Structure 1
Amino acid sequence: MFQTMTNGFPFRLIKPFDIQFIAGIVNATIRRMTDTISKVIAHIDMDEVADAINTILHENANQITRLLISIDPKAMATVVNESVKKYPGLLNALIVRLDHEALMASFYELLNKNPQLISGMIKHLEENPQMVTALTQHLDRSIFDQMMDRMIASTPDIAMDMLALLDRDILVDAMSKTIGPLTDYSMDLMNRMDKDHIANLINQIVQKNAETFSEIMTRVAPESFSKIVNILLDKKPAFISQLVSSLDPKIIARAVEQMMNDQKSFAGKILQNISPKALGNVINDIMENNPDLMTQVLDNLNVLAVSEQINRSEKELIPFVNKLLDEKNLLGMLGIYHRSNLGKTVNRTNVAAATKAIHVYKIDYDYTNPIDRNSSKPRIYR
């Protein structure tokens, strides 16, 4: 019977029915039969489920979307928790078998036929923000992160396939609108996940989709992006340092350079909203755990791209650096160590003098023939 369902016939019967009525039945069933549903799911053939999902998306995407919007988030979260807890490899097995190109083709076909669908969903979420909140509040994060770890570790190519097929405008809009209400939840979830798995996924995505990655990042609202960065810096400094230590410096340097070229004002807008104190703590942690990382990244950056970015962000950068180096706010917290045989802490007076020198003098570099870092050639001051 299930094979017959995958051919699409029963799903065509959904069209004439009242979606709200069906959603009511689904909600009642989920509430009363959570344990039974999770057991049934465990015995379903994932190949056939994947075929069924593709059929649904092709032929009844609009109805299914409306149905999902009407389902009780708490009840749905309960089923997800039960299923993931008892059968942790189940969802991963399903995702591996889904045809990603068919899935995205169905999604775009739906958007072409129903261009108002996304705006309608966003409007519904804006009018009912408790729906997203309710769903995330009731999901068991400690269980969910284990599932995400398995998916990232075993199927990293899936994320790249999906990223390559996604419409950037739609993705950026969705990220900007969801970053706000889900920031705390996302950060807590990420903190529980395996940092090496995440780093491996980021490395692969950035390496194979550098332009897509940089374009998406630079088009996300800087204020929203800064909010996530601030929470990570403030609440999860160890997470950032551990994650950064696992990233490939050359790949990240290329991505940063691409972002600087694509969006000149991006860094400035981000700096306006980043907490210098929190950033100082994280920099200290990164330098302590992986002192060579900063040098490796800087060695792979394009000098012209970086200098142009700094020039364009000068209004935001100078106040930011001043806050970072302010004695009250922070040289001691930053805790930069002079890594020589003397091993002494950097003297605040010397740093203050150097900062003033930067303001007073303009360092004249010949960018067509950059000074070798190991060279003894003196710098020219004007």
Structure 2
Amino acid sequence: MDLRFTPEENAFREEIRAFFRENLPEEVRRKIVAGKHFSKQELVDWTRALNRKGWAVPHWPEEWGGTGWDPVRQYIFLSEMQSHPAPPPLPFGVNMVAPVIYTFGSDEQKKRFLPRIANLDDWWCQGFSEPGSGSDLASLKTRAVREGDHYIVNGQKTWTTLGQYADWIFCLVRTDPAAKKQEGISFLLIDMTTPGITLRPIQTIDGGREVNEVFFDDVKVPVDNLVGQENKGWDYAKFLLGNERMNIARVGMTKERLRRVRELASLERVGDVPLIETPRFREKLAAVEIELKALEMTQLRVVAGERNREKGKPDPATSVLKIKGSELQQMTTELLMDVVGPYALPYVPEEDDDAPDLPNEPPIGPDYAAPMAPGYFNYRKVSIYGGSNEIQRQIIAKAILGL
């Protein structure tokens, strides 16, 4: 298999880079490089700039705003977005619920939701995980009982990322409690303004509040918001998670992080020499770079195989990408912690009116050190969400190795 890019593909890469340079505000790019958070409005503005160009949803069918790019060009676009770096599209809409809608949804659902997702007119969040139903997602207990033209939903979801901004949530709900647990689940689209929905933030170990609990108390959801067939939601969830795992690899983002590691390691000194010139650090950095190159080659092989994959069928090789991609993201946060050393310890939230009394002394060490510890702790999650890495190993053993 020839994994080299053609001259036309390299020219396409340069076109993407030029657009990013000319259209992404430098302030937003610097925030991402520094490990800081961009605002909701900055993501909305960037998404709409991409949508005006016709690039907001390049992997979608052309009739719904897709570009018609082949998998290689889609890969190049995503890689350049991650390595520029630029804000990624809101994954819950663009990469998760939208492919489920345009693959399995009704024509009315496609017309209603897809254009608004592409332009980020609607902010979506994901309602899968529940207390007591983490990696064993099929054991979920949130119920949806049909009454006439509505479902009545009761239950709880947790770890709902960015739910505080959401207009809509897509949920897995149990519609047949008597069936085998994977066969009694349905896929519902729920308006977050519906009476009976309560959202409560969860503060995470890094000091952030990006995740939430969502409670449903007798929430009425129109039957028209059921995607596909009742009790077939598990099939749609597997399809969604296959797409998510492909994106979790984030090769371009890890490349950018390693560039940042090299930059900062050139500034920090050990005795009389820069850290990057010390043998032990160079050895650790080289080991990560080698593994990243292997992951990139694996992802290119998966991309090349996309042309022949049956529609709606996830590629089990995405589990390999998920495992190694998440591990490498965690490795880069560890390298950044190594670079700044004890200067990563002091951390003052950027904007937090509810923070406890904080010392009056200025931060210790360079400005770039402050986000390192929060980033390290936050990225402990990437080996868990999208299906924990232990679950991915089981998928590989069964689907690829035949064990």
Using the size of structure 1 for normalisation, the TM-score is 0.25
Q: Which one has the bigger strand percentage?
A: 2
Using the size of structure 2 for normalisation, the TM-score is 0.24
Q: Which one has the bigger helix percentage?
A: 1
Q: Quick check: which has more Rg, 1 or 2?
A: 1
